């Protein structure tokens, strides 16, 4: 257990030379991967592609990592052009993913049939390139977004998709969390930035912003809480004890990173997500009325917001001010811009060209100082409206409804997997109220694809659940199958 505790030393005041801390962190990461691989999980080597993809979008670009390692290859040429090296690296990952899917003979018709609205949204985004002011840039960004469904299909076509999900999340956490702690404590030039609104110091870890670090904590913290519930119900054994220790250490590390990040949105969404998971596990909750419960909660929230303005009060309680850290000003400013309300400006095109320059002028002081560099609307639904218009927004709403219906039906077939999906689904809905997660290379969008997509091979093969909680899963499925037909 000494090895597991090494990364925590830096956050508890133990002073270690940076190079020693780096070596200890690398040793810790190697130990975790060696431990995981020796467990011989039921996954293929192709899973390393989604692992690399998720680690990349949870942290920094390929060229930024090369620069950190001392290979100075430069960065993006411009916002519009991006980095050619990054583009080549991402394209290589996509081609490798396509080769895996071709080898597995994935049926495109089955993908479309089981994910109709999601495919419709991807197709509409492609069509919207036609009216973009920057069609080439828009097309490049669409290609990047296409990487999400490719990586998810690799996950869903594994011998055991649930075990593949566990391995994906654990392996990514083994890199993102310890290295974030290392950067914040020992390499502040890499792990610390300054808030453009207040000038105060903010911790970013391996990400490029504090909200990015909060997003990482939300994804991995939610997973480890769900995984804790699975392991807790298994029979007492050495493996169970070791897994519980591992979970406890990482939940503590993620909790400390939450505290360092000061990301109010991610923290709230994390607790709301785990609350949904806990409530779904209660016998007193009738699973057939989940939709009614969610609709009632949504109505209560809307009424409370209209009558009492709870978002402003909550923001003040969290130290963000009644204007949600300036977000309300951004929303008002972007809505005044002249865009096509029906079709939008084109996929990922709003924050390009003259529109950005005009908005920067709005947020520039009389002394010529820019208050903040704008590159998103800090609201996922507003971001969709600006880029793909009301048509795209309605398609996304239909996609969300279709995803929810699949998750609800899954409650009576595979309860544990279904409540993971539903818990994170609610967290995503809430997260997009103050952050834009429906953008190309965001980790939340990738995990949303994981919980929203389906592939018939999952049901055709009927794989056994992870050995860690096979017995628990079987009991749950029988219990809720009886409830469904009661």
User: 251-273, pLDDT tens digit by residue?
Assistant: 999 999 999 888 888 998 999 99
pLDDT at 394 over 90: yes
Q: Residue 466: pLDDT band by 50, 70, 90 thresholds?
A: very low
The encoded tokens of residue 98 equal 């396509």
pLDDT in tens, 95-153: 999 999 999 999 999 999 999 999 999 999 999 999 999 999 999 999 999 899 999 99
- For residues 333 and 362, the answer to whether their CB atoms sit within 8 Å is yes
Helix or strand or coil: residue 83? Answer: coil
pLDDT in tens, 17-66: 888 889 999 999 999 999 988 888 889 999 999 999 999 999 998 898 98
Most confident of 133-147, 216-230, 282-296, 303-317: 216-230
The encoded tokens of residue 195 equal 């808030």
In three state form, how does the secondary structure of 255-275 look? HHHHHHHCCHHHHHHHHHHHH
The encoded tokens of residue 135 equal 């069609």
pLDDT in tens, 297-356: 767 766 665 555 555 555 555 555 444 556 778 888 888 888 889 999 999 999 888 887
Q: How far apart are CA 5 and CA 115, in angstroms?
A: 43
Angle at 219 between CA 387 and CA 5, to 5 degrees: 145
Alpha carbon 175 to its chain's center: 16
For 389, the enclosing helix (H) or strand (E) is helix 380-410
């Amino acid at each position: 257990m000494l090895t597991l505790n090494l990364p925590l030393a830096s956050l508890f005041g133990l002073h270690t030379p940076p190079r020693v801390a780096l070596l200890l962190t690398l040793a810790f990461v190697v130990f975790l991967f060696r431990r995981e691989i020796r467990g011989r999980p039921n996954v293929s080597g192709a899973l390393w592609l989604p692992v690399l993809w998720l680690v990349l979008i949870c942290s920094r670009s390929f060229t930024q990592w090369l620069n950190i390692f001392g290979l100075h290859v430069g960065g993006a040429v411009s916002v519009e052009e991006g980095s050619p090296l990054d583009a080549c690296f991402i394209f290589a990952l996509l081609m490798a993913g396509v080769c895996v899917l071709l080898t597995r003979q994935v049926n495109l018709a089955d993908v479309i049939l089981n994910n109709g609205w999601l495919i419709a949204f991807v197709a509409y985004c492609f069509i919207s390139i036609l009216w973009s002011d920057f069609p080439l840039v828009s097309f490049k960004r669409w290609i990047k977004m296409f990487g999400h469904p490719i990586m998810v299909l690799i996950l869903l076509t594994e011998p055991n998709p649930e075990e593949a999900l566990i391995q994906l999340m654990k392996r990514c956490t083994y890199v993102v969390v310890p290295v974030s702690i290392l950067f914040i404590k020992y390499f502040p030039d890499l792990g610390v930035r300054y808030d453009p609104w207040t000038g105060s110091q903010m911790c970013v870890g391996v990400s490029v912003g504090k909200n990015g670090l909060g997003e990482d904590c939300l994804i991995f913290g939610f997973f480890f809480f769900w995984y804790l519930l699975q392991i807790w119900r298994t029979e007492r054994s050495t493996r169970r004890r070791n897994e519980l220790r591992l979970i406890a250490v990482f939940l503590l590390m993620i909790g400390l990173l939450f505290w360092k990040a000061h990301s109010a949105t991610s923290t709230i969404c994390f607790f709301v997500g785990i609350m949904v998971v806990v409530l779904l596990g209660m016998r007193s909750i009738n699973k057939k009325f989940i939709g009614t419960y969610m609709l009632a909660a949504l109505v209560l929230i809307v009424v409370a917001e209209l009558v009492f303005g709870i978002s402003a009060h909550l923001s003040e309680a969290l130290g963000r001010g009644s204007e949600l850290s300036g977000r309300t000003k951004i929303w008002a400013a972007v809505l005044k811009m002249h865009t096509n309300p029906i079709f939008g400006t084109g996929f990922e095109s709003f924050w390009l060209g003259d529109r950005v320059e005009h908005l920067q002028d709005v947020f520039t002081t009389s002394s010529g100082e820019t208050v903040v560099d704008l590159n998103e609307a800090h609201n996922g639904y507003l971001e969709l409206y600006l880029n793909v218009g009301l048509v795209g927004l309605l398609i996304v709403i239909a996609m969300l409804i279709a995803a929810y219906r699949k998750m609800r039906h899954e409650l009576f077939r595979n309860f544990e997997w279904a409540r993971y999906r539903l818990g994170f689904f609610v967290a995503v809905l809430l997260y997009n109220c103050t952050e834009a997660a429906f953008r190309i290379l965001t980790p939340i969008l990738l995990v949303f694809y994981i919980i929203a997509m389906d592939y018939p091979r999952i049901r055709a093969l009927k794989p056994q659940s992870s050995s860690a909680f096979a017995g628990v899963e079987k009991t749950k499925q029988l219990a809720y199958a009886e409830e469904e037909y009661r």
